[in-house]
Structure 1
Amino acid sequence: MVEAAKEVWRRANAVCFDVDSTLIIEEGIDALAQYCGVGEKVAEWTRKAMGGSVTFQEALRARLGLIKPSREQVEAIKKEKNPKDILTPGIEQLVGLLHSRGTIVYLVSGGFHCMIDPLADYLNIPRENVFANRILFNDKGDYAGFDEEQPTSRTGGKPKVVGQIKEKYKIVVMIGDGATDMEACPPADTFIGFGGNVVREKVKAGAPWFIYSITDLITELQL
């Protein structure tokens, strides 16, 4: 199973990365919650969501309801977060290597465009290759909910997005740390579980190939 996944990885035309705890070392929504003073309450919901014990929409609605971030708070935390300080070690090199091979890189996340788009810019990933959620604000800049029409706001959203990507490419790989990432295979041709920042036992048990270091992915491409 591992060798088959490695072979698919080496031949991939497109690679989809989860963001929180995969592309970056932290959970973006938890960082936002910490900034807004409700860190521990929100982190508990994140653990439930990533472990697969509650639906993603339930966890997202609950977490944002606790945080209620204003536009001003979102902009403030964006200024504090330098992409190179929060990227998982090796990611910048890996994305550059994929680009040099002509492999298309996508970011498919249950996080938020406002926090992920700067990461995509830093890694030279086109913003149209970013699938994520949108926080809504009213005219005063206060929290007004989230766009529930985005597929990534719902359980089953990542498989839907990856399915759309799969229509364009012969071989697609999904990489992530969570249960929602593993659900995207199929339609992805293989799933690579990542435990370099946090290990989800359900993912470790179910992934065709489970890794703890981005270096493993780089090494396979250089063989």
Structure 2
Amino acid sequence: MLPPAARFLVVLDADSTLIRNEVIELIAAEAGREAEVAAATEAAMRGEVDFATSLRSRVEALRGVPVASFARVRSRIEPTPGVTDLTAAVHARGGAVGVVSGGFHEILDHIAPGLGVDVWLANRLGVEDGRLSGVVDGDIVDAAAKAASLLAWADELGVPASRTIAIGDGANDLKMMAAAGLGLAFNAKPAVRAQADLVVGPVDLAQVIALLP
């Protein structure tokens, strides 16, 4: 939950940014389709295909995976090095932390609070009879939704856009990074590094602390 106000706002992508994994690939492994989904994810992150179209096709590949397997998926999640150092530093300086993800609430709801995240938004997976239905439930969180979320959260906190930082790795993070006062490419694809304000080299989110207001 967002605090009533903040000095600044940091918004991160989730997969390959907040955490080291691509969650959809972990779920796909439960269906024996990890390699297929991983290749499609890579293409989407490079910006070679439309994100929403790609996500729908990848989620279709998850049809039939038991919801009970999410516990095993969550056990495989690896937080990115330095993530709790960064969120603690943001809070110590009067800031807030958001995460907006093309991944899934079913996983993020369990891991975000423990990593010091104040607010988050992600996609939801359709379920029928205890198994994934192969469709996304509701509107897809795409590049436009990511940028809109950053600006909406900043407005709610009374933070001007100039005092926001967006951190991402994939093409669907570029609009969010452009909307922010500072857009950071982290563990990022070449197209994202080329368009970012700054590129963070080591895969260590503590490196961002020096850039906080």
What TM-score range do you get, normalising by the shorter chain? 0.7 to 0.9
Aligned to 2:208: 217
Query: How many percent of aligned residue pairs carry the same amino acid?
Result: 29
1:73 aligns with 2:69: yes
Aligned to 1:39: 34
Task: Encode CA deviations 1:14-68: one digit per residue, 9 max, x unaligned.
Answer: 0101010011111111111123210110001101110111111111111111122
Q: Which residue, out of 120, 125, 128, partners 2:112?
A: 120
Q: Which residue, out of 13, 25, 29, partners 1:30?
A: 25
Structure 2 residue matching 1:131: 3-state secondary structure: strand
2:7 and 2:94 in contact (8 A); partners too: no
Structure 1 residue matching 2:126: 3-state secondary structure: strand
Q: Which residue, out of 189, 195, 200, partners 1:206?
A: 195
In the superposition, relative to structure 1, how do residues 182 and 155 fare at CA in structure 2: closer, same or farther (>3 Å)? closer
In 2, the alpha carbon distance for the partners of 1:221 and 1:15 equals 9
Q: Which residue, out of 194, 219, 223, partners 2:186?
A: 194
In 1, the alpha carbon distance for the partners of 2:183 and 2:7 equals 12
1:174 aligns with 2:163: no
Structure 2 residue matching 1:22: 3-state secondary structure: coil
Higher helix share: 1
Structure 2 residue matching 1:67: 3-state secondary structure: coil
In 2, the alpha carbon distance for the partners of 1:220 and 1:165 equals 20
The unaligned stretches of length 5 or more in structure 2 are: 1-5
Shift of 1:124: 3.4
In 2, the alpha carbon distance for the partners of 1:12 and 1:34 equals 41
Aligned to 2:136: 146
1:97 aligns with 2:86: no
In 2, the alpha carbon distance for the partners of 1:124 and 1:95 equals 6
Aligned to 1:3: none
Aligned to 2:12: 17
Aligned to 2:3: none
In 1, the alpha carbon distance for the partners of 2:55 and 2:138 equals 10
**One-letter identity of the residue aligned with 1:207:** A
Task: Encode CA deviations 1:119-170: one digit per residue, 9 max, x unaligned.
Answer: 21212324xx1110111212x11222212325x1x34221222221232321
How many residue pairs were aligned? Answer: 200
Shift of 1:71: 1.3
Bigger shift: residues 59-68 or 163-172: 163-172
In 1, the alpha carbon distance for the partners of 2:28 and 2:41 equals 11
Bigger shift: residues 17-26 or 179-188: 179-188
Runs of 4+ in 1 over 6 A off after TM superposition: none
In 1, the alpha carbon distance for the partners of 2:27 and 2:201 equals 26
Superposed CA RMSD = 2.0
In 1, the alpha carbon distance for the partners of 2:167 and 2:125 equals 24
Aligned to 2:149: 161
The unaligned stretches of length 5 or more in structure 1 are: 1-10
Task: Encode CA deviations 1:77-134: one digit per residue, 9 max, x unaligned.
Answer: 22x23x5xx01111111111111111110011000011111221212324xx111011
Shift of 1:206: 1.0
2:168 and 2:177 in contact (8 A); partners too: no
